[in-house]
Every structure is written in structure tokens, then in C-alpha cells.
Amino acid sequence: MNTSSSNHSSSSVIVSALNEPATIRRRAWRMLKDKIVRHSMTFGGLGVIAAILLIFFYLLYVVMPLLTPASLQLVTQFQLPGVENERTLHLAVEEKNELAVRFTDDARAVFFRLQDGHVISEYAASKPDGVEASAFAVSDSTRQVVGYGFANGTAIALQHSYNIVFTQDSAGNRVRTIDPSIVYPLGQDPVTVDPQGQALTHLGVQISQHSNMIAAVTADQRLVVVRVSKAVNFLTEEETLNTVYSEIALDKTGQVTHLLLEKDQRYLYLADTQGVITRYDVREQEIRKEYHAQVVPQGDKITSLRFLTGDISLLVGESNGIVTQWFPVRDANNVFSLQRIREFQGGKSAIVDLAPEERRKGFVAADARGYLGIYHTTAHRTVLSLQAEQPLVSVNLSPRADFLIGEDRTGKLSVWEVHNPHPEVSFQALWGKVWYENYPEPDHIWQSSSATSDFEPKFSLAPLTFGTFKAAFYAMLVAVPIAILGAVYAAYFMSPRIRGVVKPTIEIMEALPTVILGFLAGLWLAPFIEANLPGVFLLLLLLPIGIILSAYLWRFMPERIRYAFSDGWEAALLVIPVLLMVYIAFYFSHPLEVWFFNGNMPEWLNQNGIPFDQRNSIVVGVAMGLAVVPNIFSIAEDAIFSVPRHLTSGSLALGATRWQTMTRVVLLTASPGIFSAVMIGLGRAVGETMIVLMATGNTAVMDFSLFQGLRTLSANIAVEMPESEVGSTHFRVLFLAGLVLFILTFFFNTLAEIVRHRLRRKYSSL
């Protein structure tokens, strides 16, 4: 009874204490803190998810213009300006898209406003009296030069020029006007091309700062080339022209239909009625015929022939509505031949005109039934197409390729505005093999920088993605065995005292800046490996043999020595044989190199068809592997050390050895954590930038060889993003590379999480 009364009084005291105002306030404050922390954690988790989604959608926002289709909008139509009964030979638009010029078969240039066709001015070229123009040529579009050939064997070059003038109107406002004019780069008097006076049937003209050339086919089937140079009298400033003539008789197999003269004045192409294109070397005074190729099937004809920008590729318009791209290819014997590279399906009838872009590898094709298409050669894609109201006879693009003009059969001129900012991008160009100009075969190439607009963009993400996986593979090949085996030993076999030193030391290594590792790898490790390459491979062989042999010999050591060291200290003793194996490997490195590799293993590899780069995959594997080891080791060691002790004790009590317990109980139980450690290390390796940037040579090649370098997606973004033009194709493709890296990381992390949960469910009952 007394005990019951005592318990009741104690309970009353406790209840009264809990109901005191101070206790209630403390309890309310603690509950409030719990709510704040709970909601903060929830908000933080949602914030992380929101941040990841924002990153994804921002990357997608920048990349989306690459996927947006091009558009073509009709701006205006008007009757062709100038004399109606004169045939249009060429149409051109100036840079500002305000004026255009029309060259006619009567050697007349008509400048007009692009908005309404109002004629600004007309110029008649200087031509011999009573002599008709018999040939016409368009030079490189960036130089705005055209040429007329005449029936008496002479020719004249004209350059349409545009001067921007600023004036003030009556209200005092500053007004900009464009003043067009015609300039004669070789003088106003026609240049004699054929001294025999034969009519020029086909013409090619190229004007440059250092040299000028006119090439023509005469009526009697001769190819005539004239090199024209200017001499200036320093006293009178009078200019005189010096001409050097060359000619060669042409084959009588077919009549010439087209003549193209390269802008660098090195090569000349002739096409004939048989569908054959022949290349001539005109660099020297003697004209040399190099090779020819049948470019259209028998029965079809070449209806249009133009250079693609850069004057390397030929665009061949055929009578069957197909446009093909051809360029010279060098074979294994260093012999060039004209190869068919790509085919573009135009309309269903003959191609009547081709208009290459001035600054990109795109072009416009028009057929006899009014089909109009815009194409890009490198991307091998039809950007857009439309059916014109009337069949077009002449088309051309503005210098920026944002306006398209075309003349139809009724004498009406149509002006379209073109929105086509990123034609270079297609799935094939990004991920497939592309046959680039001056390359012997299709290949995966990333090369975004260029010196001139003649450059063909090479935006293949395949070598960058390949390099990312290659770097991660070699890094994980080094890191995973070291980190996992080290974690197993540290968590299960190592003595607590030495574990307390080893684990924090390795975790501190995780804070080492990767730029330091990259610096050491690039400036010290790469030259060291190159100088001791046989020793590196010998070390890979000697280390496991030496460690296993040391463990075997340890059993035969006297007991007083073996028992002098407590369990878990064996790893410290292994330092001695490891250092001994390292010394032996590099001591014999140079003798092995002399005996087997003529004293220079890298050179021996190069001579035997195995390219060697000093900053190669061995360097990146070692450097990145050491950078990834702390991540994997720390997480894996925690997972192994956290295995409940009753599981290991029970296994040992049932008669299992420590090794059997480790392999059949501990590793299985810790497998979710070990797998997470490996995947986190893989994510670190995939996203690594500075080590790859400084230690691999940064070469975008698709070669899995140990001796070749690489370039990863992250390193490529770090190198090129500061130099890319905002909003350009290059800029957006770099963001696309970031999006690819984001998706790859998300995919592997998701896959890892799924596998981890399955492992946890499978071994949670242990």
C-alpha cells in the first residue's frame, strides 16, 4: 500500500512538472524547431530538384533553335527592272539587302531597290562596237566580279561596288544612302584573250590582289588562259597591263557546256555534253590536263555547274532533277580523282540554276517546273523546299543568305526572306561519319575553329562522347580495384589504429584541386611515362607478383618476427616490397627498351603503325584514377564498415573463415553502398575537366588505344565556350554537348539507383 501511494505521488509530480509553463514552452519550441527543420529539409530537396530541372530546361532552351526548322517568306514581287527583251545572266544582292543588280546579255548592269524594283542606275559595259557578248562568267561571290566575253576574242571584267554615304535631310537628320557603281579592275578597255580573234563561247574570270586570270573556250575548241598583271609607273602613276598567254587544244569528244575557274587560280574545270568533267592545272604557263570523271549517267546532261563556297567542291545540276556534290580525293598512292560525295534530290525536272551561299556550305537549287530547294552539303539535308508560282530561270542568295531572289519565266522577280540560322546541324553531322572536303574518307571530326569562311564546319559530337567514355573507362580501370580492395582491407582487416590514420588521409586527398593533378600529370607524369614506358608495363606485371610472393613468403618467416606485428599491420610491411618492385621495374626500363625497342619505345610504336602521343590515355588513367580513388574508397569503406557485427560474428561462429565471411556475407550486405561508390566515382570521372584538359593533349580522335590522347565533352566546353560567338551554331552545339553530358549523367545515376535498390531489397534479409 505504501509502495502504491509512493508511485502515485511520483506520477503526480512528473505530470505537474510536464504541465509547468516553462516545460510547455520548451516543448512547443522543440516542436517548432522540428517543424522548421522538417520543412527546411523538404524545401531543400524540392529546391535541388527544381535546380536540376531549371538547368535541364535552360540547356534545352539554348539548344532548341538548332532543332527549329527553317522558314521562307515571300516579301515582294515586281516586274524585272531594266530592258524587258534583254535576258538576265546574273542577279546579285548587296550586303544590306537594300539594293540588287541585274546583269543582262547586252553587257548592261541595272541597279534597283530590292523593296520595289525601282531602278537606281544603269551602266553599259565598255565593249567593242558592233560586237556581241558571247560568254559570261561570275567570279568568287565575295569579290563581286563578273566578266563578259565577246565574239572578237576579247573580254572585260566588271566589279559591282557599293559605297555607303551619310547625308542630312531638310530636317537635319542623318540619312544613310547606298551609292552603287561599276569598277573595272582590269581597265575599261577589253583585254585580248584569244590573239586569233575567235569568239569566246565560255569564260572564267578571277581577280585578286596579287594576280588576275581570264580563261576561255574559243569557238574552235581551244582552251585559252591569260594571266594579267598590272604595272604602275611611279612617276606618272599610269597603269599598264602585262599579259601572258597559254592555250591547249581540247578533245573533240563533246562540246564544252560549262567552264569554272578556281578563285586561287590553280585549277580549271570543263564540263561537256557527254556529262564528263575534266580538271586542268593552270598554275604554270603550260596548261596540264590532270584527270576527268563521268559525273552524270549516260543519257542525262549537266544542266548547271557551280563551285560550292571555297571552290573545292563542285555542285552538278542534272537533267533528271538531281544535284550531286563532287570534290577531289587523294588515294593511297597520292593520286587525285574526282569523287561523287553526296546526292540531293531536287525536283522532277532539269535543274536550271544553282546558287551557293557565300559564307556557308549551303546552296539553292531551282528546277524547270518551279521547285525551289535549300540544301546544306555537310549536314546532307534538305533545309526547306517550296513550289514557286511560276518556274524560275535564275536565282541567287544575299551575302548573308537571309534573302533569296528569283526571276521566273514571265519576267517577274520574287524576293523571299529566309530564316535559316543553323543549317549545319543534323543527326548525321553530329553523330555519323561525314566526308569532309580534302579528307580521303568519311570520318568523325570535331574542328570548330577556322581562318576563313571557306571552312567547312565539323561539329561531330561522336569523338567527344567517345573520349568522355574512354577517359572514364581508363580512370575507373585504375581507381576501382585500388579503391574497392583498399576499402575492404581498411574496413575489415586493418587494425583500428592504422585505419584511423589511413582513412582520413585518403579523404583529405579528395580536397586536392584537380588543376594541381592535371598540372603534375601534364608537366611531370606524361614525360616521365614517355621516358620509362617499358618500366610502366613491367611494373603492372611485377606489382601483383611481388605482393602475392611477399604474402606467401610471410608464412615462412620466424614466429618471433610474425607475432611481433599485430593483425592488421601487414599493409604497412607491404610498402617495402612495393617500393622494391617499383625500383626494379624502372631500373630495367632502359635496358628493356634497348633490347626490344631499339632504344626508343615510342618511336618503335610509331614505326609499327601504333601512333604514340605523349599525353595519352595512360596518363589520364593514372591521374584521373588517383582523383577518383578517394570518392570510391570513402563511401565503399563506410558501407563495408557499417555491416552489422552480429552478421560477421554469426558467420565466424558457424565455422567460416574471415575471407569466406568477407566474400559471402560482408560484400553482399555492403553491395548497395559499394555500387553507389562506383557510380559516384564514374560520375566524377565523366564530368572531370581540368585533368583531361591538361593531361590528354585534348585531341578529338576516336581511337581506344592506350597511347592516343582524347577530348571529352566537359573539356571541350571549357576550352571553346569562352571563344564562341553567342547565339552562333558553335555556341549552341556546345550547349548541346552540355545537354548530352547532363542526360548521360542522369541516365547512369538513375540506372545506378535502380540497381542499388534491387541489391538492397535482395540482401536486406541477411
What string of DSSP letters covers 175-244?
Answer: EEEEEEEEE-TT-SSPEES-TT-PPEEEEEEEE-SS-EEEEEEETTSEEEEEEEEEEE-TTT--EEEEEE
b/e for 523-554, b at 16 or more Cβ within 10 A?
eebbeebbbbbbbbbbbeebeeebeeebeeee
Can you tell me the distance from the alpha carbon of 11 to that of 613, in angstroms, rounded to the nearest whole number? 82
Can you tell me the distance from the alpha carbon of 383 to that of 4, in angstroms, rounded to the nearest whole number? 94
Question: C-alpha distances in angstroms, 136 versus 112, 146, 149, 188, 214?
Answer: 21, 7, 6, 17, 11
Burial of 579 (0-12, 13-18, 19+ CB in 10 A): exposed
| Partners of 395 in the β-ladder | 406
What is the block-wise mean pLDDT of the chain (766 residues), using blocks of 10 residues? 57 65 80 87 89 93 93 92 88 93 93 93 87 91 90 93 84 84 90 92 91 93 91 71 90 87 94 93 91 90 94 93 94 89 87 93 93 93 90 93 93 94 92 92 87 78 94 93 91 83 86 88 92 92 89 82 71 84 92 91 91 90 92 90 85 85 86 88 88 86 89 92 90 94 87 81 68
Q: Please report the DSSP string for 414-483 in residue order.
A: EEEEEE-S-TT--HHHHHS-B--TT-SS-B--EE---SSTT---EE--HHHHHHHHHHHHHHHHHHHHHH
What is the model's pLDDT at position 262?
Answer: 93
Nearest Cα to 448, choosing from 460, 438, 440, 436?
460
Whether pTM exceeds 0.85: yes
The answer to whether the beta carbons of residues 327 and 311 sit under 8 Å apart is: no
Residue type, 127: K
Nearest Cα to 72, choosing from 422, 417, 366, 370?
417
What is the model's pLDDT at position 7?
Answer: 58
Q: Which grid cell sits at 466?
A: 567517345
| Partners of 596 in the β-ladder | none
The answer to whether the beta carbons of residues 736 and 424 sit under 8 Å apart is: no
The answer to whether the beta carbons of residues 637 and 503 sit under 8 Å apart is: yes
Question: C-alpha distances in angstroms, 323 versus 21, 352, 376, 392?
Answer: 92, 11, 12, 16
The answer to whether the beta carbons of residues 303 and 393 sit under 8 Å apart is: no
| Partners of 340 in the β-ladder | 326
Q: Which grid cell sits at 63?
A: 539548344
Residue type, 303: T
The answer to whether the beta carbons of residues 674 and 700 sit under 8 Å apart is: no
Q: Please report the DSSP string for 42-98 in residue order.
A: HHHHHHHHHHHHHHHHHHHHHHHHHHSPPEEEEEEEEEPPS-TTSPEEEEEE-TTSS
Nearest Cα to 186, choosing from 142, 230, 224, 234?
230
Q: Which grid cell sits at 356?
A: 551557293
Residue type, 674: I
Torsional sign, CA 53, 55, 61, 64? negative
Residue type, 642: S
542 CB-near residues (< 8 Å, 6+ apart): 581, 584, 585
| Domains, the chain, ordered by start | 89-294 (no CATH), 298-457 (2.130.10.10), 461-525+612-763 (1.10.3720.10)
Helix H or strand E segment including 91? strand 88-93
Can you tell me the distance from the alpha carbon of 568 to that of 353, in angstroms, rounded to the nearest whole number? 83
Nearest Cα to 717, choosing from 701, 735, 702, 699?
735
Question: C-alpha distances in angstroms, 644 versus 502, 547, 634, 649, 669?
Answer: 22, 31, 18, 9, 9
Q: DSSP letter for 569, please.
A: -
Taking the alpha carbons at both ends of the chain, their separation in whole angstroms is 50
Q: Which grid cell sits at 722?
A: 569562352
Can you tell me the distance from the alpha carbon of 215 to that of 224, in angstroms, rounded to the nearest whole number? 6
What is the model's pLDDT at position 355?
Answer: 94
The answer to whether the beta carbons of residues 178 and 94 sit under 8 Å apart is: yes
The answer to whether the beta carbons of residues 658 and 666 sit under 8 Å apart is: no
What is the model's pLDDT at position 281?
Answer: 94
Torsional sign, CA 52, 58, 59, 60? positive
What is the model's pLDDT at position 266?
Answer: 93
Is residue 647 classed as helix, strand or coil in its secondary structure?
helix
Is residue 334 classed as helix, strand or coil in its secondary structure?
coil
What is the model's pLDDT at position 434?
Answer: 94
* Phi, psi (rounded to 5 degrees) for 130: 70, 10
| Partners of 90 in the β-ladder | 103
What is the model's pLDDT at position 332?
Answer: 83
Percent of residues in the chain assigned helix, strand, coil, to nearest 5: 40, 30, 30
